[in-house]
Copies of this chain bind each other. A is one copy, B any other.
Amino acid sequence: MKKQELVQRIRSKRSFLCVGLDPDVSRIPERFSGDVLAFNRWIIDQTRDLCVAYKPNTAFYEALGLEGTRILKQTIAYIGNNHLIIADAKRGDIGNTSRYYARFAFDTLGADAITVAPYMGADSVQPFLEEAGKWTILLALTSNSGSSDFQHALQGDTGQPLYERVMRTAMEWGSTDNLMFVCGATRAERFGDLRRIAPDHFFLVPGIGAQGGDLAAVCTFGLNDECGLLVNSSRGILYAEDPRRAALDLQRQMDEALKNYAPKVFE
């Protein structure tokens, strides 16, 4: 899915919601009897018109054992072609090996995008960027507590934090048409800084809801003229008493934020 298509969907749905499809067998409603695919289909049916992206995290499917990949592939097939589908896999390996991960995410699973870890540098990321029409979403500033261990460390030559080095370096590898960054909502105070570093790139924003991130703050500093944000909610929707209601609440907040902070999206 090209950027213009993504922005068009955001405009028409008045939403930049991404639904995280991270099914935890111990938490899905009893009536599904542990049938993860049926649960996913139900969540997708409840949210399809309210979101522009779905993000299954591969760990939750690996946890299902040998059948996990099949369930993930069937889930992705059920979503269809009208949403951006992000394989949240956080992969990265030496060049020829990253190419295999890319083939798995894009060809075997049918995803449009994959999250990638930056530690191994250029040749570990390039194979993902080289896939025509696909997106690489690179970890920059993550939403977890451990993000402070290395990502915030100031670099000797520039005085910038590591996440800034990662973003500035990667912006030389990819463009706003094939590269996004993961920027956690739990670091909302950093969004002005993140947007200054990468004014035109899309950010995938986890950490709203269960992890405590502040949607309003993220929107105030993070929105740009093409929206530029995909805000993810996983547990906050999947295990809500009424998942559709939870998604609708977020979509309405997003509609409001777009009108207030990114009116050019509608021009």
Q: Is the CB of B120 within 8 A of A146?
A: yes
Asked if A100 meets B59 with Cβ closer than 8 Å, knowing A117-B117, A119-B117, A162-B150, the reply is: yes
Is A261 part of the binding interface, using a Cβ–Cβ cutoff of 8 Å? no
Of B73, B108, B145, B151, the contact of A119 (CB 8 Å cutoff)? B151
Q: Is the CB of A118 within 8 A of B157?
A: no
Q: How far is the CB of A169 from chain B (nearest CB, A)?
A: 6
Q: How many copies does the complex hold?
A: 2
Q: Is the CB of A119 within 8 A of B121?
A: no
Chain A's interface size range is: 35 or more
Q: How far is the CA of A98 from the CA of B144 in the complex (A)?
A: 12
Q: How far is the CA of A165 from the CA of B139 in the complex (A)?
A: 19
Is A81 part of the binding interface, using a Cβ–Cβ cutoff of 8 Å? no
Q: Is the CB of A144 within 8 A of B120?
A: yes
Q: How far is the CA of A90 from the CA of B120 in the complex (A)?
A: 10
Is A91 part of the binding interface, using a Cβ–Cβ cutoff of 8 Å? yes
Is A149 part of the binding interface, using a Cβ–Cβ cutoff of 8 Å? yes
Nearest opposing residue in chain B for A122, CB measure = B146
Q: Is the CB of A147 within 8 A of B120?
A: yes
Q: How far is the CB of A1 from chain B (nearest CB, A)?
A: 23
Residue of A68, A118, A150, A166 contacting most chain B CB atoms (<10 Å): A150
Q: Is the CB of A157 within 8 A of B153?
A: yes
Residues of chain B with a CB closer than 8 A to A120's CB: 90, 117, 139, 142, 144, 146-147, 151
Please list the residues of chain A having a beta carbon within 8 angstroms of any beta carbon in chain B: 22, 57, 59-60, 62-63, 65-66, 68-70, 73, 88, 90-95, 97-98, 100-101, 103-104, 108, 117-125, 139, 142-151, 153-157, 159, 162, 165-166, 169, 211
5 closest Cβ pairs, A-B complex: A121-B146, A121-B149, A154-B156, A62-B104, A63-B100
